[in-house]
Amino acid sequence: MTRRYDAVVVGAGFGGMGAAIELKRLGLHDLLILEREDDLGGTWHVNRYPGLAVDIPSSTYSYSFEPNPHWSRLFAPGEELKRYAEHVAVKYGLKPLMRFGVTVTGARWQGEHWEVSAGGEIVTARYLVTATGFLSMPRKPDIAGIDSFRGEVVHTAAWEPCDLTGKRIAVIGTGATAVQLIPELAREASALTVFQRTPIWVSPKPDLPIPPAVRKVFARLPLVQRAVRWLGSSVLELMMISGVVRYKQLRVANRLAELWCRAHLRRQVRDPALRDKLTPDYSFGCRRPTFSNDYFRTFTRPHVHLETSTIDRVDETGIVTADGRTEVDVLVLATGFDLWDTNFPAFEVIGRDGEDLGAWWRQNRFQAYEGVTVPGFPNYLSLNSPYSYSGLSYFTTIECQMTHMRRLFTAMRSRGASTFEITRRANDEFLDRMRTKVKQNTVFSLGQCATARSYYFNQHGEATLLRPTSTASAHRAAASFPVSHYDFSPSPSLCISTTRGAP
Ligand code: NAP
């Protein structure tokens, strides 16, 4: 006999924990949270590279219903995020529901429940929630000879503490991770070569320690921290709206953001040739910009070299480009994550008519109603879906999705139903609306994004990751979407037309 749960949540990061908290609030207590890694925390458990810190102010990068007055800095270091995740899991009774080291390989809708293949075992549940993250599949670059390298090779998502003092280090990649890591590596390396293919827009980071007296105020007067959260969220919202979502209407704000980053670069790097190499040729916002106070400056140190010629191959002891060869002891792959090829979804999901979600997305555009549900996949909440990511702080997305779940489950129950499925019509309308907004307003279609190589774009060149609306609009939609957009039925299975449904 396989055990039957109310719901299985895949992923014990902040997304999966938020979903589990919401399901518990809705009275679904027989939950199972499956996690591939050996502990909770998602990205904040996996990533341990030197310099790891949040790049969104911590008061904003946390659950609104669980403020943490103890952040040591405005932008907390990674281990504090991991501790916060641990605290939430304990406080909300999630830890006993979690099973670690279990890789889910597939899930299949069986008419009235989901059958989930997990670590050689089958578990069944009425509802399935996937919260496997966007940035969960590390990408190893396809560079000739990389496996022949005899020194150490480490991806930033598999960092092990080691002594790098006096080593000749090479870093491949200049994304947000590399921006945090490179200044740290420069402190230890005897020589550091950074292989850059695409430069990144970097803004100064208004980071400060939070004095103990202020933390005490946050603990005693939560409203004060709430105000700080509101301020941080508003600044981020302004950046997102002016830089990305409303590019057409606020192009000048996007241009100002570029100038701000250029001025930061000019202050830190005097050499115009080096500055030129570090300056992006694509519009601000086409790919995720980042914050750092010491990234640019690091390249002015005598033992740090920025290499922009294309890597030809890696051999046993170094990296070869058209311009020459660099001897290396340690090769650091800051090469990011595979989103569109190996994720979406992270494992095989088979729906009502035997439809394979991954194949369906690839053949019919990446889509999900409100970034949460997919027609043909009853009782399934896919939290890392196309158009789901709203705003700059991931917690905005998480809390919108929690609100969506609340409204959906409440409506389902009030109808005496236990099965939900989004109608094709509502899904199609949502997709059309998102595509129109991306096309008419955003930097993705109106800016210069061709050279950005941004993971916001899928393999067909469409920007289908971010929701092209304000976060206020995302919150409103989550709280007030027409419940008639869903078909509800008692179990066992849906027998009503999925083309029904009106706004
Ligand atoms: P990323 O932004 O995808 O950057 C990967 C880098 O590796 C890019 O510079 C890419 O160059 C380069 N690269 C990949 N394959 C390559 C190849 N074959 N040859 C040469 N270069 C190659 O990944 P990331 O830096 O890990 O950041 C991912 C995301 O994580 C960020 O955007 C951010 O959302 C998140 N993050 C957040 C924080 C935080 O504090 N909250 C911190 C770090 C990261 P191309 O651009 O030319 O492809």
H helices of 95-211, in order, are 176-188
Dihedral-angle region of residue 376 (phi above 0 means left; psi in -120 to 50 means alpha; beta otherwise)? left
Q: Which token pair is 344?
A: 């979406």
Q: Parallel, antiparallel, or unpaired for β 114-118 and 348-350?
A: unpaired
User: CB under 6 Å to ligand 1: residues?
Assistant: 53-55, 135, 141, 143, 172-178, 180, 195, 197-198, 288, 311, 334-336, 453, 455
Q: Is residue 346's pLDDT more than 50?
A: yes
Q: Is residue 496's pLDDT more than 90?
A: no
264 CA → ligand 1 middle, Å: 21
Q: Is residue 136's pLDDT more than 60?
A: yes
Query: Atom 12 (ligand 1): residue with closest C-alpha?
Result: 173
Strand segments, DSSP code E, in 13-113 are 31-35, 98-100, 104-109
List pLDDT tens digits, range 22-33.
Answer: 999 999 999 999
Q: What is the predicted pLDDT for the residue at 352?
A: 96
Handedness of CA 96, 64, 430, 447 (dihedral sign): negative
From CA 311, how far away is CA 319, in angstroms rounded?
7
Half-sphere exposure of 148 (CA within 13 A, CB side): 11
Q: Is residue 286's pLDDT more than 70?
A: yes
Q: What is the predicted pLDDT for the residue at 26?
A: 97
4 CA → ligand 1 middle, Å: 40
Q: Is residue 497's pLDDT more than 80?
A: no
Q: What is the predicted pLDDT for the residue at 477?
A: 98
14 CA → ligand 1 middle, Å: 21
For the chain, give the percent of residues with pLDDT over 90. 92
How high does pLDDT run on average in the chain?
95
My answer on whether omega of the bond before 492 falls inside 30° of 0, hence cis, is yes
List pLDDT tens digits, range 78-103.
Answer: 999 999 999 999 999 999 999 999 99
Helix (H, G, I), strand (E, B) or coil at 396: helix
Q: Which of 478, 390, 383 is nearest to 13 (CA)?
A: 383
Dihedral-angle region of residue 284 (phi above 0 means left; psi in -120 to 50 means alpha; beta otherwise)? beta
List pLDDT tens digits, range 160-185.
Answer: 988 999 999 999 999 999 999 999 99
**To which residue do tokens 């996996």 refer?**
46
From CA 486, how far away is CA 408, in angstroms rounded?
8
List pLDDT tens digits, range 408-426.
Answer: 999 999 999 999 999 999 9
Q: Which token pair is 168?
A: 């000749």
DSSP 78: H
Nearest-5° angle of CA 487, CA 490, CA 491? 110
Q: Is residue 285's pLDDT more than 80?
A: yes
State the closest ligand 1 atom to the C-alpha of 55, by its place in the atom list counted from 1.
Answer: 40
Query: Atom 29 (ligand 1): residue with closest C-alpha?
Result: 176
Average pLDDT value for residue range 276-290: 96
Cβ atoms of residues 34 and 118 within 8 Å = yes
Cβ atoms of residues 366 and 462 within 8 Å = yes
Q: What is the predicted pLDDT for the residue at 1?
A: 53
Query: Atom 34 (ligand 1): residue with closest C-alpha?
Result: 288
Average pLDDT value for residue range 388-408: 96
List pLDDT tens digits, range 185-213.
Answer: 999 999 999 999 999 999 999 999 999 99
Q: Which token pair is 208?
A: 């400060």
Burial per residue of 441-464, b for 16 or more beta-carbon CB atoms within 10 angstroms, e otherwise: bbbbbbbebeebebbbbbeeebbb
Q: Which domains, ranges and CATH numbers included, belong to the chain?
A: 4-137+339-489 (3.50.50.60), 146-205+248-282+292-333 (3.50.50.60)
Q: Is residue 493's pLDDT more than 80?
A: no
247 CA → ligand 1 middle, Å: 23
45 CA → ligand 1 middle, Å: 18
- Chain-centre distance of CA 192, in angstroms? 28
Band the pLDDT of 3: cuts 50, 70, 90.
confident
Mutate to test the pocket of ligand 1, among 84, 333, 335, 458 (most ligand atoms within 8 A of CB): 335
Better-scored residue on pLDDT, 55 or 435: 435
Q: Is residue 499's pLDDT more than 60?
A: no
